[in-house]
Structures are given as C-alpha cells and as structure tokens.
Structure 1
Amino acid sequence: MTVKATLKRIFLTRHAQAEHNVMSDWSIPDAPLTTLGRQQAATLHEQTKDTIQKTAELLVTSAMRRPLSTAVLGFPDLRKRLEAEGKQILVLPQLQECADWPCDTGSPRAVLEDDPEYAGLDFSLLTPDWTSKQGFYAPTDDALKHRARWNRRWLRERPEHQIVVVAHGDCLRYMTQGDNTHEPWANTEVREYTFQVDEHEDKHGDAWLVPIELVTRAGKTEPTTSELLEMKDR
C-alpha cells in the first residue's frame, strides 16, 4: 500500500569523512572514507540503532564508495533486519555527487561488486553510463536540478513509510533546497524530512521536501568539493 507523501519520513544522511574532504585533493578516484570517517560511521550506528534502524523500511545509498561504506558501517542493524525481510541495501546511481572531478566520479559496477565490503548490496540499477558525468549525470546546474527533482519524485513514489538515504553534501542541498546553497551539512548528519504536499496537490511535480528535525550528527562540517573549489579560487 502506498503511503501518502505528507506522512512519509525521509532520513537524509551525509556520508562520513572522506579522504578528499581533509586532503583537498580532487584527484583521488572515488574518494573512500578516512580512518576517522569509518569511526564516525560506527558512531552513527550507536546513535541510531535504537531509533530509525528499528523502524525504517528501506536503506538506499549513492553508488560512490564513501556513502556505500557509510551505509554499511553506519546502519548494520537496519541492513540485517531488512535483509531478513528480503530487502538488500539499494544502490541508486542518481544520488551520486555533483561535480566531475575524480573524487566525485564513481567506480564501474564490476569494481564495486568485487569489493568484499560491499558484498550483498543491490547494484542492479547501475547502468554503464552512470560514471559518464554526461547527459542526466552532467555537472551542470540545470542537470543537477533535474536530477534532484528525479530523486525527490523517486522517493515519493516508493511505497515505504520511512526511508534512510545516504548521499553527498552538494547532492543533498540540491534535493532539499533546489540549489547548491552551501548550507552546512556535517559528516554523518541525519535530518528528517517529509513532503510538502501530497502528489495530487503538487501542480508542478517538484516533490519538495520540508524539514522536520535534526536526528543526529557524528562528524564535523567538512567542506564539499564545490566549497573546496571556492576556497581554492579565493
């Protein structure tokens, strides 16, 4: 049974600290978590194991290494419960980071599937073009706004009541505010949202999200790629 959009609860989560966040090095391919980032993800587990990990009905993550690892390390209880119900962690390429630097470009599906840490995740939605940074995945403002709208509509159309989403700072800003506003998002910060109106009232089909509350955060507000680039240009 489909849940009304205004009754849904979407728990948007930024990934834990990754290597490019602290090294200001955009050349790191599909930048992984740092040691501290992995500790932050473990803390995220402790902070949520008695709340949303007991109630969420879907765990979906960007297909890049840092959110994949955050999802695996941060939500193990949720994963175990969902897998017992026949639901794997769903890997959604549309949640990938916005820029086209190596650190923000994902790895091929075969590479990710060969990584033992990601064994058992559902990579079936990864198409060959997901790392192209062209067309639907282009790093242009228009394409990013279109992709954010696609993500919101996808979440609204899902049948689940509570959904945990693990993604990236810039991606989350486009999803929640319609633009890259540089609003601070801490590493492993979790915010609860719902939809502004139900689908039949959404005249423009934007599926806007509205905040409910801050759930938790285990890390600091590390800059995203776009912020690092702005600091570099100053």
Structure 2
Amino acid sequence: MAPLVHLVRHAEGEHNKGGDAYFIRDPGLTERGLEECRNLSERFPYHSSIDLIVSSPLRRALHTALFSFQPAIARGIKIVALPELQETSDIVCDEGSEKSDLEREFADAKGPSGENVVDLGLLYEGWWVKKGKYAPTSSALIARARLARQWLRGLPAEEIAVVGHGGAFHYLTEDWTGIGNTEHASSWQNTEFRTYRFVDDTENATMVETDESRAMRGEAGRILSSEEQHSLYLKVMQFWENRGFQNPLKKEVQFKEQDRRLTT
C-alpha cells in the first residue's frame, strides 16, 4: 500500500526577507524560522506514526526537518534528502550546496544510536544546477514532480513527512488553488502541513489531499477537476510573470530557441 504523505513547507529562511536576500545562495533559517520549527514540533500530531522523513536538500528544508521532527528522530527515524524536491526557480537563493559541504554541516546530527540522521546518499555533484531534469521550465518541472511522486509512492513505509517548498509543492500536488489571492507566489505558509494520499497506480502517481486535511485548513469545498486545475495553472503562470516571480513557460520557449540555434 502506498504511504500517507504529510507535506510540510520549510520555516522562514533568510531569503524570505526579500530584496538582496534573494541573492543569498542556499540560505539557512532565521531566528523566526527556528521559532516556527519549535511551534511546528509542538503542533504536528504525527511524530509517533511517521516511518520516514524526506526533505529537499536545500538547507532551509533540511534544518526545518531536523529541528521540527526531533520526537520522531529520537525514535530512530532518518531524514532522506531527495534532489527532486528542490525549489523550482533558478534564482540564487534556490541554488543548493555541494554534497561535501552538506556532509560537513550535518555531520553532528546523530540519532539515538549515534548514527547519522541526515542521509545525503541520493545527492551527486551538481545536483542543484538548474539544467536538464532540474531546468526551471514547465515541462521539466512537471516531469520532475512526477518522478518525486513515483519515488514517494514506492517507499516501503506507511506514513512519511516530506519537507519542501511552496512552488515545488504546487507542482507535486498538481493543486494551483490559492495563488494570486495574496502577494505571495505560493498558497503554502511557513511550516504549514497538509496530508495527501495516492489515488491511483498509474505513471502519474496522482496525490489528493485528504478530507480531514482540507477541513483542518478550511478548504472543505468541491475539489477541482484536472481540467479546472490546468486552467488555473495557466493563470498562475501569468500571475508569476506579472509579479516578477519565476516564469517557466517563457523559459521553456527560451530553452527551445537556444537548442534550435545550437542544432542549425
């Protein structure tokens, strides 16, 4: 049976201050972010039932996982860094760190038996470079999110916590509701968590938020159809472009034009 998945957005990072902070590479958490982790740890009700913690390899997500899930970590639960969960844009704050640097940073994070808590085994040289599979284009982001869903669905676990990013979570869940109602690029708030279940065994590995999760956040209305979500997705792309956020559709055209020039 596919696992139940609790998606958790990271706590406040240094880049969330805006302005020049967006040019901090792989920023860590702020003091407020650390406090958000403490609050998340207190209100997260699934510490005793999760079998695994999966995280984006960006530092703000790994630190959120490490500081927020200590009750589970104390039981011997590990954090696995999955590169497919990294954030979607190619701005500096969404560039990751070298694996060797992360290994040094998290070397002292130990479990109850002295084992390393943070598993970086899936990372490789240049995992954070936004090209190929990780390019900030519409087709690449959709395909990457599908790979992440497939990987999560195949885990031999009953219940997992996944720490990541607002933009990436919209692609992962294929849910584009709530964007555009505020000045933010995502409807996910810092350390917000929502629970999802897999609803099919097809290649797409579709995830749907549980009724209980939707009710907890006041979204108990009708679930949009795939056609309605696609229409909303196109509107979100336009909103992101208008607000100066990432614009994967335009980038896709630019990448294709570059490829055409190289091959003609």
Q: TM-score range by the shorter chain?
A: 0.7 to 0.9
* Equivalent residues of 1:33, 1:66 under 8 A apart: yes
What is the CA RMSD across the aligned residues, in angstroms? 2.4
Question: Counterparts in 2 of 1:3-82, with a 5 A limit?
Answer: 3=1, 5=2, 8-24=3-19, 25-48=21-44, 51-82=45-76
**Aligned in 2, Cα 1:117/1:74: closer, same or farther, shift over 3 Å?**
farther
**Structure 1 residue 232: deviation in Å?**
4.5
Q: 1:93 aligns with which of 83, 90, 111?
A: 83
What is the CA–CA distance in structure 2 between the aligned matches of 1:179 and 1:154, rounded to whole Å? 22
Q: 2:96 aligns with which of 101, 106, 119?
A: 106
Instruction: Give the 3-state SS of the residue equivalent to 1:166 in structure 2.
Output: strand
* Equivalent residues of 1:59, 1:165 under 8 A apart: yes
Instruction: Give the 3-state SS of the residue equivalent to 2:127 in structure 1.
Output: helix
What is the CA–CA distance in structure 2 between the aligned matches of 1:231 and 1:117, rounded to whole Å? 39
**Structure 1 residue 178: deviation in Å?**
6.3
2:151 aligned with 1:139: no
What is the CA–CA distance in structure 1 between the aligned matches of 2:90 and 2:177, rounded to whole Å? 15
2:126 aligned with 1:129: yes
What is the CA–CA distance in structure 2 between the aligned matches of 1:149 and 1:56, rounded to whole Å? 22
**Structure 1 residue 115: deviation in Å?**
1.1
**Structure 1 residue 23: deviation in Å?**
2.5
* Equivalent residues of 2:86, 2:168 under 8 A apart: yes
What is the CA–CA distance in structure 2 between the aligned matches of 1:149 and 1:125, rounded to whole Å? 17
Unpaired segments of 5 or more residues in structure 2? Answer: 110-115, 180-185, 218-237, 246-264
**Aligned in 2, Cα 1:95/1:215: closer, same or farther, shift over 3 Å?**
farther
Higher relative contact order (CA 8 A, sep 6+): 1
Q: Tell me which residue corresponds to 2:187.
A: 184
**Structure 1 residue 13: deviation in Å?**
0.5
TM-score normalised by L of structure 2: 0.73
**Aligned in 2, Cα 1:110/1:230: closer, same or farther, shift over 3 Å?**
farther
What is the CA–CA distance in structure 1 between the aligned matches of 2:216 and 2:34, rounded to whole Å? 16
Alignment length (residue pairs): 209
**Aligned in 2, Cα 1:177/1:116: closer, same or farther, shift over 3 Å?**
closer
Paired amino acid for 1:107 = S
Q: How far does the alpha carbon of each residue in 1:14-65 deviate from its partner, in whole angstroms, 9 at most, with x for none? A: 00011111223321110211110110011100112xx311000010101001
TM-score normalised by L of structure 1: 0.82
**Structure 1 residue 113: deviation in Å?**
1.1
**Structure 1 residue 127: deviation in Å?**
0.9
* Equivalent residues of 1:145, 1:178 under 8 A apart: no
Q: Tell me which residue corresponds to 2:113.
A: none
Q: Percent identity among equivalent residues?
A: 36
Paired amino acid for 2:35 = Q
Paired amino acid for 2:169 = L
What is the CA–CA distance in structure 1 between the aligned matches of 2:108 and 2:215, rounded to whole Å? 26
What is the CA–CA distance in structure 1 between the aligned matches of 2:30 and 2:80, rounded to whole Å? 23
What is the CA–CA distance in structure 2 between the aligned matches of 1:158 and 1:215, rounded to whole Å? 27
What is the CA–CA distance in structure 2 between the aligned matches of 1:228 and 1:112, rounded to whole Å? 31
* Equivalent residues of 2:98, 2:126 under 8 A apart: no
**Structure 1 residue 137: deviation in Å?**
1.1
